[in-house]
Structure 1
Amino acid sequence: MKKNKLKHISLLLGMIILLTACGVTNKSDEGEGQGDVGKVVKFASQFPDMDSLDVHKYTTTDVILPAQNICEPLLEYDSNRELQPLLLETLPTTEDGVTYSCKLKEGVKFHDGTELTSYDVEYTFNRIFDPATQNLNTWLCDMILGGPEMLEGKAESLAGFKVIDDYNFEIELSTPYAPFLSVLSCEQMMIYPKEACEAAGDKWGIDTFVGTGPYELVEFVGKDYTRCKKNENYHGTPVEIDELYVYNMDPNTSIMEYEAGNLDLVKVETKMVEPYKTNEFKDQLVKVDLMAIIALNLNVNMEPLNDVKVRQALTYTIDKESLVQDFLQGNGTPANSIIPPNIMGHPDREANKYDPEKAKELLAAAGYAEGIKLESYVVEGDEAADIAVVLQEQMKASNIDLKINLVDQATYVDMRKAGEVQCPILTWYKDIPDPDNFTYTFYNSAGSQLFSSNWNDPETDNLMKLGRSLPEDEREAVYVELEKLLVEDKAAMVPLYNPVFYYLQSPKVTGVEYSDSMVRFAKTEKAE
C-alpha cells in the first residue's frame, strides 16, 4: 500500500509540474508579464491530432474545434438548427438551384486589420481545390463547377466562382445540390485572408492563423494547447471573455484539474461519466445529444462480405440494447439507421434485431453453415477498440469469429483509406444536418473506398444522385427508399448506436454553445 501511495504522490507531483509549465494553473490568468488579463476560460478535451489549425488539411474535430474560434464560414446554424448568415448580409439566393448570389457584410475585419472582401472568399475556395493544399475535405463541396478539374490539375482556378465586386460574388454548381447552403456553414469552409495565408506559406495554421472570428490566435503549441485573446473588433456580438485556452489533455488529468478549479470546462469520456451523475458535480454535468452515428461498416470487396446474405446475417448478431445499457451504461441510443434521428430519411423501425439463430440461418443459406471468420483493425486506446471487443463477444453466439488487430492512428487511417479494413467501425459526427452527409459520403461508388466499404451499387448511386439534385420538398421519399436499401435490403453496414457527449461546466461560466461535436465560445461569459 505504501508503495502504491508513493507512486500516486509522484504522479500527482509530475502532473502539477507539467500543468504549471503549460499554463493551466490559475497563475496563468495573469498572462506573460501583462498583469491581470481579465476573464479567462480554459477548456480541455482529448485532441491528439491537433498538429495544426488549418482545417483544409484535416478531417478531425481535434483541429476543427480550436480553429472555429478563430476563423469563420460564410453561414452558420443557430441554436434552433436554422441557417443564418455569418459573414454574409443575407442567405444566398438562387433562381435555378445552380447559381447562388452572395453579398458579404461590409466592414468585417480580419484580425490583422485587413477587410474581408470577395477576393478572400475566392482565394479560399481556390485553395480548397488546389492540389498543393492536399485538402481532405473537397468531397464536401466538389459540386462547385470546376472543382474536380482543379483537383486533377486541369485548371488553376474555379470556373464556378465569379467575383462581381469587393462584396458581391456568385458561386455556380455543376448540377443542383439541395443542401448547398448547409455546405457553406461547414467549419471546413471557413474563410482565410488571401494576403496573410499566402505570406505564411507552410506555417499557416501553425505560426500564423488569422480569421474574422471572435478570438485571435496568440499562441499555438501543437498537440498541447491553443491560446487566444478576444477580438476587440468582432463583427458580431461583443466578446466577453478576454482569453481562451483549448488544451489537449489526458481525460484523467483534465478531470482532476477541473475538480481542483483550474479548468472551466472539460469533456468527460463516456466510461468515466457515471459518478458525476450523482456526486457533488452532478449539477455541472452537461449532456449533448449528437447528430452522429457509430456503425460497423462492411467491406464488400472482402469475402464473405460480398454476399448480401452474409451482410444481412450480421445485422442480427449484435445486441445493441446490451451494448448501450451494459457497456455504455446507457450513454447512447441503439441505432436503427445510418441516418441519425431528426434528419430527413430517418426511419421508424426497431433498432435491436439481435437474433443469433436467424443469423446462423442466413449464414447457412449463404453456404457458411459452420460460421465465418472476420477481421477488424482499430486504434489502440480508442473507444472503438473497446466496442470491437463487445462485438467480438456477441458475434460468437452466431458462429462468427471476429479477429481484432490493434494499430496506431496513422496505420489505421492509411488502411481505411486504401479500402483494406474488412469491418471498420465508423464514427461520424455530422458536417451538415442532411441525409446526404450520412449516405453519399460513405456509399457513393466514387468515394466509398475511403471508408473501407468499397460500396459500388448503381441502384443506390442513382438514388444518391437524385436526392442531391431534387428540390427540398421532393427529397424525403428518395432518402426513405435509399435508407431501406442501404440498411435492410442490401445491408451495407450495421448501425450500432447514436452517441452522446458529456461535459463538466463550471457554474461560473455561461453561454457556452454545444453544437454536436463542436463547442463555441463566442457568447460565453464568466462570473467573477
Structure 2
Amino acid sequence: MSLRRKEKHKYQEPIIMGIIALMLMVILIVHLEKKRDRSIFRYGMLSEISLDIHHTRNPDIATIYRHIIEPLYVMDDAGQIIPWLTEDLPKISADGRRYHFQLRPNISFHDGTQVSSYDVEFVFTRMFHPKYPSINYELFEAIEGAREMLRGEVNYLSGFKVIDDLNFIIELDYPFALFLSYLTMPHAGIYARQAYLQEPPAWGEEILVGSGPYRVAWADKGDRVALTRFNEYHGDVAVTKQLVFSFYPNVEAIFHAYKQEEIDMMQLPFSYYRKHFREMEFSHLAFVHRVGYTNILFNQDHSPVNNLLIRQAIAHAVDRDRLNQRIYAGLARPVYHFLPDEIVINKNSDPLLPSHDVVRARELVKQAGYPNGVRIVVQYSEEVMDRELWFELADQLKRANIHLVLLQQHPILWRKELSDGQVSMVIGRWIPNIPRLDALLYGVLSSKLNHKWSMNYQNDQVDHWLHEARYTESIRTRESIYRQVEQTAIAKDLALLPILSVPHIFLIQPHISYRPDTHIHLDLTGDLHGNRTEMI
C-alpha cells in the first residue's frame, strides 16, 4: 500500500466510526422518544370548575375521577356485579332493606392510609349535606335518613352503621332491587376521609385521594392535571405510566392542540366535526354509538307546549331523516322509541312515535286553538352545541305553522332557568352510567326529579310504576314495567320526544391504539399505544 493510500485510510476510519456512532445515537434517541411517548397519554377537554363528580355531570370529569377513586363494586361487560373493595357481595336481609358489607383488608389509599368503614360512611353522608348535596344524590336517596339530612333535620345518616373498620351496614327505606348496581357507579366511589377534611376547599381542584389505579401527581388549577400510575394498586397495575388531562376554554383551542400533537385524544362535538371535517384525517376519527338518545324535552308548565296537541304537532313536524342529513352528515340513526335496544331483553322494532307528516301537524295546531299558527320561545345555552340543531328544527316546525323564537343565553343564566323549571323546550341527552333502564328512566320521568330538566312532568301512574320497578327483583318483570312507562309517558303523554341516536366522535393520534367503546366512561388503564407486553 502506498504512503498516500495509508494516509487516506488513516483519515477514513475515524470518519466511518463517527458516522456509525452518530447513527447509533439517532437510533437511541428515536427509541427513547418512542419510549417516552408510550409512557404518557394526553387527553384534551373543555374547562370544568371541579374534578369532583358530585358537583358536575361532565362525563369527561367522571373519566378522570374513576381512574382515581373506586366504588365498592364494579360491573363487567356482561352486567355482572364484581366485588372490588369488598370481600364478597353483601349479605341482604329477607326484606331486602338491610345490607351487610365487609371490606377487603389492607387496601391502601394513595396517601398510604387504609380504606375503612369510616371512609365509606363519610362518602355517603357528604352526599346529603343540606347546603351542598351531591347533584346525583337521588341515586342513593333510598338510604334510610337521606331525606331527613337533605331537609336539614339531622346531621348524620341514620341508615349507615359502622360495626368496625372493615364491616358496616346500610339500611334502606324500602327494598331497592337496583341498589347494588348503583354502588358500581363512579358517584359511589370511596375516597379518603382524612384527605378531604385536611383541606376541603382544595378537594376536586388540586386534591383527590382514592384507591384507584392512578393517583394525582400534580394539578395546575383550571389548566392541567396529571395522574401517575399507582404502583401499590391492589389490582392489575396500569400499563401507561402517566395520564395528562389538559383543559381548554373552547373546542377550537382543543382542536388546535390536537393538530400541534400536544394531545393524543379529544372528543369532537358534531357541529365542529361537520364544519371542519375537511381538515381531519379520516384515519384519526372514531365514531361510537352509546346507549341513550337525543330527545326534545317539553315543559308541562309552559304554554303552549303544555298542550298535548301542540306536542303531537311537533312530533309530526320533526323530520328525523332531514335532521340526520343536514346536521349529522347521515351518521346518526333516527329513533322512534325511548328504551335503548342495547340494554333491553325483548327488542321492539315497531315505531312508538309518529313519523314525519306536515299536513297532520298543521291540523293538530289548528285543533289546539291556533288557527294562525303558534309561537314558542326557546332559550338555549351558548356553551351547548345545540344552536344548529335548534335552527334546523325551527325551519322544519315553521312549515307546520309552529314558530320558534330562539334566544341564546349565558350558560350560568340558562342553567339556573333550567333547574328552576323555566325553559320551555330542551334538547336533552342521557347516557346511563350503568346499563340499567332505571338509571335512564327514573331521573328523567320521576315527578320528584324531572323539574331540574324543566320538564315538570307529573303522572301518578308513571311514578307508581317507576317505584314498583325498584322493588322488583326480576329483570324481565322490570322491563315489562318500563315498557308500560314508555307507552304512557312517551307515546301517550309525549313528556319528551326521542329523535336521534347520535354517535360520539373522537380524534385519536395514529400512534394510539386505544379506541373507546359503548360505555360512557373511558378506560385508560390498559395498553393505549399498542400490543406491548413489557411494563414501561
Aligned to 2:350: 349
| Structure-2 change in CA distance of 1:365 and 1:347 (3 Å) | farther
The structure with the largest alpha-carbon Rg is 2
Query: 1:432-485 CA distances to partner (integer Å, 9 max, x unpaired)?
Result: 322222322122222221111111121211121112222233212111111011
Runs (5+) with no aligned partner, structure 1? 1-28
Question: What amino acid sits opposite 2:374 in the alignment?
Answer: I
Percent identity for Structure 1 against Structure 2: 26
Q: Offset at 1:275?
A: 10
Change (3 A) 1:106 1:416: same
Structure 1 residue 498 corresponds to structure 2 residue 501? yes
Residue 318 and residue 38 in structure 1: after superposition, are their counterparts in 2 closer, same or farther (change >3 A)?
closer
Asked whether the 8 Å contact 1:77–1:84 carries over to 2, the reply is yes
Equivalent pair of 1:37/1:243 in contact (CA under 8 Å): no
Partners of 1:322 and 1:93 lie apart in 2 by 53
The one-letter amino acid paired with 2:524 is F
Q: Kindly tell me the number of residue pairs found equivalent between the two proteins.
A: 495
Which residue in 1 is equivalent to 2:315? 315
Contact 1:57–1:133, Cα closer than 8 Å, also in 2: no
Q: Which amino acid in 2 is paired with 1:476?
A: E
C-alpha offsets along residues 153-209 of structure 1, whole Å, 9 cap, x if unaligned? Answer: 122222222223222222221112222122111112211211111111222112321
Confirm or deny: 8 A CA contact 2:274 2:328 kept in the other structure.
no
Structure 2 counterpart of 1:69, which letter?
H
Q: Greater shift after overlay, 427-436 or 401-410?
A: 427-436
Of 59, 63, 72, 1:61 maps to 59
Task: Mark the CA change 1:523 to 1:380 in structure 2 (over 3 Å): closer, same or farther.
Answer: same
Q: Is the 8 A contact 2:447 2:457 kept in 1?
A: yes
Quote the offset at 1:152 in angstroms. Answer: 0.8
Look up the equivalent residue of 2:491 and give its one-letter code. Answer: E
8 Å CA contact retained: 1:160, 1:172: yes
Residue equivalent to 1:3:
none
Range that drifts further, 301-310 or 516-525: 516-525
* Partner Cα distance (2:372, 2:84) in 1: 59
Secondary structure, in 3 states, of the residue corresponding to 2:294?
strand
- CA deviations on 1:410-443 (whole Å, 9 max, x unpaired) are 1111001000001111122213322222322122
Q: Does 1:523 pair with 2:526?
A: yes
SS at match of 1:376: strand
Aligned to 1:315, the other structure's residue is in SS state helix
Of stretches 160-169 and 508-517 in structure 1, the one that deviates more from structure 2 is 508-517
Cα 1:228–1:466 shift into 2, 3 Å: same
Matched residues in 2 for 1:98 and 1:176: separation? 5
Quick one: structure 1 residues 272 and 384, their matched pair in 2 at CA, closer, same or farther if it must change by over 3 Å?
closer
Does residue 475 of structure 1 match 2:473? no
Q: SS at 1:460's partner residue?
A: helix
Q: CA deviation at 1:51?
A: 1.5
Q: How does 1:235-250 map to 2 (within 5 A)?
A: 235-249=234-248, 250=250
Change over 3 Å in CA distance of 1:275–1:304 after alignment to 2 = closer
Provide the C-alpha distance between the structure 1 equivalents of 2:520 and 2:247, rounded to a whole number of angstroms.
15
Q: Over aligned residues, Cα RMSD in angstroms?
A: 2.7
Q: Residues 169, 512 of structure 1: CA spacing in aligned structure 2 closer, same or farther, 3 A cutoff?
A: farther
State the distance in 2 between where 1:484 and 1:509 align: 44
**Contact 2:72–2:83 (8 Å) recurs in 1:** yes
Q: Specify the SS of the correspondent of 2:424.
A: coil
Higher alpha-carbon deviation: 284-293 or 187-196: 284-293
Q: What amino acid maps onto 2:84 in structure 1?
A: L
Q: 1:311 to 1:347 in 2, by over 3 A?
A: farther
Question: What's 1:420 paired with?
Answer: 422
Counterpart in the other structure of 1:365: 367
Find the counterpart in structure 1 of residue 6 from structure 2: none
Other structure's SS at 1:413 match = helix
1:279 positional shift: 9.1
Please give the per-residue CA displacement for 1:13-60, whole angstroms capped at 9, x wherever unaligned.
xxxxxxxxxxxxxxxx99xxxx97971110113x23x11212222222
Q: Is the contact between residue 339 and residue 346 of structure 1 (CA under 8 Å) also seen in structure 2?
A: no
Question: Is the contact made by 1:226 and 1:245 (CA closer than 8 Å) also made in structure 2?
Answer: yes
Instruction: Report the secondary structure of 1:66's partner residue.
Output: helix
User: Equivalences for 1:53-452 in 2 at 5 Å?
Assistant: 53-94=51-92, 95-249=94-248, 250-273=250-273, 281-344=281-344, 347-350=348-351, 353-452=355-454
* DSSP-derived class of the 2:99 partner: strand
TM-score, normalization: structure 2? 0.86
Please report how far the alpha carbon of residue 338 of structure 1 lies from its aligned counterpart in structure 2 after TM superposition.
3.0
For residues 215 and 258 of structure 1, the distance between their equivalents in structure 2, rounded to whole angstroms, comes to 24
- Structure 1 residues 513 and 318: CA distance shift in structure 2, 3 A: closer
Q: Distance in 1 between matches of 2:278 and 2:376?
A: 40
3-state DSSP of counterpart to 2:68: coil
Instruction: Select between 280-289 and 176-185 the one with higher mean Cα deviation.
Output: 280-289
Deviates more, 1:35-44 or 1:472-481: 35-44
Q: Which residue identity lines up with residue 388 of structure 1 in the other structure?
A: W
> How far apart, in 2, do the equivalents of 1:322 and 1:431 lie?
30
CA distance in 2, matches of 1:58, 1:132: 16
Cα distance, 1:392–1:280 mapped onto 2, change above 3 Å:
closer
Q: Determine if contact 1:512/1:523 at 8 Å carries over to the other structure.
A: no
Letter in 2 for 1:54: D
Instruction: Tell me the distance in 1 between the aligned counterparts of 2:519 and 2:502.
Output: 10
